[in-house]
Amino acid sequence: MITTEITPNPNSLKFLSEKTISEIGSEEFQKKDLENIRNPFIKDLLNFEGVELVLLSKNFLSVKKNDKTSWDSLKPTVISHINDYFQNNKGPILANNSERESDNDSQTVKKIKEILNTKIRPAVARDGGDIKFKSFENGIVLVELQGSCSGCPSSLMTLKQGVQNLLCHYIKEVKSVKAL
């Protein structure tokens, strides 16, 4: 059964499933990259009228639409697409990979990733988004906001008041956080 939740971004909706959607963590796919996407489920979803971005996570996917498309027409189509996939497939949409921590990461980077994964990602996921670590240099943590968080009006506030405050509190080497 698929249920939906609104997100802080009015152009994004979170679709929750009892089944595992992704075994590889969160992955974002954008319409502009359609020609490079091999997964037929994702390709079909991005081809729906108005769909701009899809984020797949363990037990949900977020869909970001354009301003011209209404959720009244798009929501049932997405739910039907998800249900159809699980009726015809036993496994998750994204399977068999693992996000590995690099052995080359410094202790500070390992701490940053731990805080992001344990304290920040679950909160961001509740709103249908994700946050990915990109780099740490000269006290600045660079992250990428994905899914519902991408382009959300409140994402800057989340980044500065939430993510930056938490990381600065737990890790003295962190001075600020910026998004791609």
- Please, what are the domains in the chain? 2-88 (3.30.1370.70), 107-179 (3.30.300.130)
Are 94 and 23 in contact, with CB atoms under 8 Å apart?
Answer: yes
Residue 24, SS3?
coil
CA distance 2 to 78: 10
CB atoms within 10 A of CB 30: 16
Closest CA to 87 of 75, 98, 79, 97: 79
Closest CA to 64 of 8, 25, 21: 8
CA distance 67 to 72: 13
Find where tokens 């938490």 sit: 166
pTM over 0.75: no
Closest CA to 179 of 153, 143, 139, 135: 143
pLDDT digit string (tens) for the chain, length 180 residues? 899 999 999 999 999 999 999 998 889 999 999 999 989 999 999 999 999 999 999 999 999 999 999 999 999 999 999 999 999 888 899 986 444 445 568 899 999 999 998 888 888 888 888 888 999 999 999 998 888 887 777 877 778 888 999 999 999 999 999 988
Written as one letter, the residue type at 61 is: L
The pLDDT tens digits of the residues spanning 98-127 come to 444 455 688 999 999 999 988 888 888 888
The burial class, CB within 10 Å (0-12 / 13-18 / 19+), for 51 is buried
Are 31 and 13 in contact, with CB atoms under 8 Å apart?
Answer: no
Residue 96, SS3?
coil
Are 95 and 21 in contact, with CB atoms under 8 Å apart?
Answer: no
Find where tokens 């939430």 sit: 162
CA distance 123 to 62: 14
